[in-house]
Each structure stands twice: as C-alpha cells, then as structure tokens.
Amino acid sequence: MQGRRVAVTGIGLVTPLGCGTEQVFDRLIKGESGIRRITRFDIEGYDSQIAGEVRDFDPEPYVPRKEQRRLDLFSIYGLAAAAMAVEDAGLEVERIDRSRAGVLIGSGVGGLKSLQDQHQVLLSRGPQRVSPFVIPQIITNIISGHVAIRYGLTGPNFCVVSACATGAHSVGEAARIISHGEADLMIAGGTEAPVCEVGLAGFAAMKALSTRNDEPERASRPFDAERDGFVIAEGAAVLVLEEMEAARKRGARIYCELAGYGRNCDAYHITAPLESGEGAARSMRLALEDAGITPEEVDYINAHGTSTKLNDRGETLAIKAALGEEKARRVMISSTKSMTGHLLGAAGALEAAVCAMTILRGVVHPTVNYEYPDPECDLDYVPNEAREAKVRVCLSNSLGFGGHNATLCLRAI
C-alpha cells in the first residue's frame, strides 16, 4: 500500500464448512467438502440440486430472535461474522476512537430471498400485506449500516457491489481508506445468502452451475478437465483491518499485512472473462506493484478457481502472464471453492482470510477433486492433499460478472 501499513487482526467466518476461523481452516486442510444436496426447499425440477449451505449455525448469540425476523439471511450471516471478527481481534470497541473506525461489507445480490418472498406476498395477498421491512431487508448496503450501529462506528461506511469480486473489493477499498489516513480501523468483508429458488434457477438458466447432483462433494472441481460449472454457496467472511502501528501499540495479534491491492475491468463481456486472461493478469500486476513485491517473491495464489471452463482456463493464462511462465509453474495455487462452493460476494473476503491463515499456519490447502488434468490448466494446483510450506507472500484473485477483477496481496510480517 502506498501510505500507512495495514494489519489483519481479526477474522470471522460463517461458511458451508462451519463457523469460526480455526474450524474452517482445519477442514480445508483435510480436504473436506461442505457441498451437499439442497435441503432448504423442494429441488425437484431444478437442473442443479446442490449447494454449499450453511448448516448447524445458531444465529441467537449474534442476532436476537426478534431482530432475526426483520433481517434477510445475508445480514444475519454478516452480523455474525463481524461479531466473530471483532472478538477474534480482541477489540474493545469502547476504547477506540469510533469516529476513526468504519465498516465496508458488501454483497453481490443482497436480500434475494426476502425479495422473492415479498414478491409472492404482493401477488397473492396484495400490496397492503407487503412487509414494511422489505426494502431494508434487500438493499446491499444495509449490512454495513447494521454493523456500524451495533458498534457505534461513525467513520467511513458504505458497500461495494461487484458480483463475485465484491468481497475482495471491500477488503481492498477498506485497506486503502486506512492507508490513506482516512480511518485507523475498518471492519470489512462480504456476505451472501443466494441459496433460494430464484437464485438457483437464475444461475442454472445461465448454464453456469454444476449438475453433478449425485456426487455433491465431487461437483466443484476447479482446473479439472471434467469440471462442468460452479456450485452456488452462502455465508460470510469479515476481517478487522487496522493501521499497523496502532495494532502493535494495543498489543493485537497480527495475522499478516495487507500489503497490496489491484483492481481493473476486462471491458469485454457481461459474464465471460477475457479469454486471454489479460485483465486478471493486470490486476495481479497492480497488486504486486502496490505492495512493492516482485513476481519471484510470490509463494502462493488463492485462485478465483470457480470450476467453470472459461474461468479456470483464463485464470491459468493470467497467472502465466502476470508472473512469467517459469515462475507460474513453480508457484502453489489452490481453490477454496473446490470445498466451499462459490460464496459469490463473500468469496473474495473468505479467500483473503484463508490466505492470512495460510501465512500464519504454514500450510496450503489443496484443490480437491483434481482427477483429470486439463492440458489448458497445467500449473501446480496443489491437488487433493495439503502441503506444508513457508508462505510469506500470497495473492488472492476475485473475478466478477461484468468484467470486475480484484487482487489482494498479503504478506507475512
């Protein structure tokens, strides 16, 4: 970052692999999948019938029961992840300057389930029966508002919406705010709850989803020759970011430094990535330049790795273009989505958190279900088994519909 250094001091996770940083990372290292057949609604007639649902999650400790009825699930997940992150950071909110602390949590699709349900109410029961809470339930910025209200944070507060790049953009923009001296602390990340009838049907209509319904755990297979689409998933990931010296002064445990951030646009197609991968490659170069890091110093890349034909091929080309062919073949690459599915607007924040844990723990999680090599995806995707390694520099890529590219660079301190 050009300016003040930014530390990652807290992480909160709500995912298909469970809740809490240690539990999620331990399951990733073991190569466990959180993808199952959908249980939340009747899936008969849907082409894709699998998802990364959040299971065994009790919102009660984070959101009172009465308040839950007024919130969409994406806000409940976001509030829970934010509370976990604040606790993980050991943050005593009443002791900080709350005018210098802000929130930047985004969502790709916001309150999709609430919109779907209230539309049904409108059609079946009339306009007078529509909930007065429906607009606050569905708007994507509301989660940043909820978190700020809970902790009394009056600094910068807004949201980023950039489809599957939302989480990475949110973390990156929050880091920039700290780096530029506009705040000393930011709570940043992404949250998503798209596993509902309209969400599943919409992505399935695009032919974007895997239809490996009889083998849910094996459906998400990034970079594998037999990949057939991504698996929709839900959850939230929130990070506490602080100005480095302030974090050290208060004795915070520091996971790593958020050292660089790059973002740009393919300006090519509403859903397909630029076939050459040049947009994503430039995003990686921008992040490295921002961090003052050379390609040779990169130890690990957490790939966007969606398990779609075009994305995985394009990202492979992008890594080669950004790092150079020879270095690209030596860097470790893995896809968290192989086990969690695709959390859409929360994915980039989750994967940034995974990079922070990778640096701290010295182990790279695998890309599971990698069985049949694809000649067009010919790099080291850490197939099927975790790998112990000293990791000092990570890149995390997020590529969104609309051509949005974002790359975060995290570095050991």
Active centre residues (catalytic): 164, 304, 342
DSSP state of 257: E
CB 313 within 8 A of CB 299: no
Residue 149 in tokens: 């209200």
Cα separation values, 16 from 24, 36, 268, 360, Å: 9, 9, 32, 22
DSSP state of 317: H
- In whole angstroms, give the CA distance from residue 156 to residue 136: 20
List the one residue out of 312, 314, 317 whose CA is nearest residue 334: 312
List the one residue out of 348, 158, 345, 326 whose CA is nearest residue 262: 348
Lookup result for tokens 């790359």: 407
Q: For strand 185-192 and strand 235-243, is the pairing parallel, antiparallel, or unpaired? A: antiparallel
End-to-end alpha carbon distance in the chain: 14
Give the list of residues 6+ apart from residue 380 with CB closer than 8 angstroms, or none: 329, 330, 331, 332, 333
- In whole angstroms, give the CA distance from residue 182 to residue 177: 5
- Specify whether the backbone of 179 is left (phi greater than 0), alpha (psi in -120 to 50) or beta: alpha
SS3 of residue 322 by DSSP = helix
Give the list of residues 6+ apart from residue 155 with CB closer than 8 angstroms, or none: 98, 99, 100, 101, 102, 182, 183, 185, 186
Cα separation values, 75 from 68, 199, 281, Å: 9, 17, 33
